[in-house]
Amino acid sequence: MHIEHLSLTNFRNYARLELSLPQQPIVLYGENAQGKTSILEALYYLATSRSPYTTSDRQLIHWRTEDDPIPFARLAADVNNRESATQRLEITLLMDKSGPVPRFKKTIKLNGVEKRVMDVVGLLTVVLFLPQDLALVEGSPSERRRFMDTTLTQVNRDYLEALDNYEKILPQRNALLRRISERQSSRKELAFWDEQLAHAGAAVIAGRQTFLRELEELAQRNHDDLTGRTETLTLKYQPSFVPTAEANGQMSFNLLGLDLHRELTAEQIEPQFLQQLEAEQNESIMRGVTLSGPHRDELRIFINERDCGLYGSRGQARTAVLALKLAELSWMRDHLGEWPILLLDEVVAELDRKRRAYLLDRLDGIAQTLVTTTELEIFTSDFLERAQVYEVIAGQISEKATP
């Protein structure tokens, strides 16, 4: 897929932007704080309807419109997919100031017709690679869960629906647990929420297991190339409880996690998850939180059978991340039948020469790629000759002749 055109109105520091995007690599070059990252953020927002940098929609709307009666930001992309004519995906974010606290309303349109997030899954997909992703291996478990979820939700509508449900049910169940502990509600009310949570959660666990099995194979190939086969990368999925393959209700707590090759279905996982919720009911009520479920899952990255997050060098962890991010790109291609858009925010400068060369070589002729940088010198002249360089200055973009 590729994006032919991007239009922004009042998004971040862009009062108005009309930008045509060629298929060749696009380099967004400029000093700090000019608006390079905001372009990648806009494309990510169009693909996932959320920002990778903030959870507050307010920050996305241009400051200068805050005193307008109805402040808004609009983002639109003309997307060209393999099987369809160019389609226009548009998101409008409105700030409703009529109440005591401003509220934000998001509208998604495809070719002018209003849609739900679910209806546009897969239409525009992106892989975003940030400098902070280089800490994915050693970082917190929530970052690795986000890594799995961002990839899966863009491609798999059922997964998006299950995760969305799970994330709605979980706080309601937690609120009930607290009410029970304060003797304002009865335990009997839990059964309904447990069933809902187990149903949605089992689909999330099954989806992650399949995803990681496929991703591992792709990442191993990249990792072999990067290390000359001297090291082996493996992924260990450690759900907060480990369902057994046999649906006999037995629990096994296996530190090595769920065998990715055991292929459990959501139907096999669901009764076991439900049983786990019931088994830990007393403690959950005491602590006022749900103790097991996909919100507590772990993904560990191993090199030569040792946990890279605990024992790996910084270089090994970076190589593993690069292998994983490129695998994410290939995984999406395998599932969508076409390459997603690749967004590289300042990450190229963070890689050493060998890893940088590997990344840029691998991109040759595949996904439409947008790279931000403050220094053009980090790219080879070969790469710059193939690329279209844009200079970004204070929310204005102009073509720059290749140096």
Ligand X SMILES: Nc1ncnc2c1ncn2[C@@H]1O[C@H](COP(=O)(O)OP(=O)(O)OP(=O)(O)O)[C@@H](O)[C@H]1O
Residues in contact with ligand X by CB under 6 A are 12-13, 30, 32-38, 59, 61-63, 372, 374, 392
396 is in an annotated binding site: no
Of 32 and 282, nearer to ligand X (C-beta) is 32
Coil/strand/helix, residue 300: strand
DSSP secondary structure letter of residue 57: G
34 is in an annotated binding site: yes
Look-up: residue for tokens 């930001």?
73
369 is in an annotated binding site: no
105 is in an annotated binding site: no
Tell me the closest approach of the beta carbon of residue 307 to ligand X, in angstroms. Answer: 32
Q: Rounded to an integer, what distance in angstroms lies between the CA atom of residue 390 and that of residue 388?
A: 7
Q: Exposure of 121 by Cβ count < 10 A (0-12 exposed, 13-18 middle, 19+ buried)?
A: buried
33 is in an annotated binding site: yes
Of 127 and 392, nearer to ligand X (C-beta) is 392
Q: Rounded to an integer, what distance in angstroms lies between the CA atom of residue 387 and that of residue 403?
A: 11
Tell me the closest approach of the beta carbon of residue 19 to ligand X, in angstroms. Answer: 14
32 is in an annotated binding site: yes
Residue 126: Cβ within 10 Å count: 25
Q: Rounded to an integer, what distance in angstroms lies between the CA atom of residue 186 and that of residue 224?
A: 55
317 is in an annotated binding site: no
Question: Which H or E element spans position 301?
Answer: strand 298-303
Q: Rounded to an integer, what distance in angstroms lies between the CA atom of residue 221 and that of residue 390?
A: 34
Tell me the closest approach of the beta carbon of residue 57 to ligand X, in angstroms. Answer: 10
Of 11 and 339, nearer to ligand X (C-beta) is 11
Q: Rounded to an integer, what distance in angstroms lies between the CA atom of residue 270 and that of residue 202?
A: 5
37 is in an annotated binding site: yes
Tell me the closest approach of the beta carbon of residue 391 to ligand X, in angstroms. Answer: 11
The DSSP result for 254-275, as a single string, is -TT-B-GGG---HHHHHHHHHH
Tell me the closest approach of the beta carbon of residue 224 to ligand X, in angstroms. Answer: 33
Of 232 and 374, nearer to ligand X (C-beta) is 374
Tell me the closest approach of the beta carbon of residue 396 to ligand X, in angstroms. Answer: 12
Coil/strand/helix, residue 305: coil
Q: Rounded to an integer, what distance in angstroms lies between the CA atom of residue 403 and that of residue 391?
A: 12
Of 131 and 139, nearer to ligand X (C-beta) is 131
Radius of gyration of the chain (CA): 23
Of 31, 29, 50, residue with least CA distance to 41: 50
Q: Cβ distance 395 to 17 under 8 Å?
A: yes
Of 272 and 373, nearer to ligand X (C-beta) is 373
Of 27 and 169, nearer to ligand X (C-beta) is 27
Tell me the closest approach of the beta carbon of residue 117 to ligand X, in angstroms. Answer: 23
Annotated binding site for ATP: 30-37
Annotated binding site: 30-37
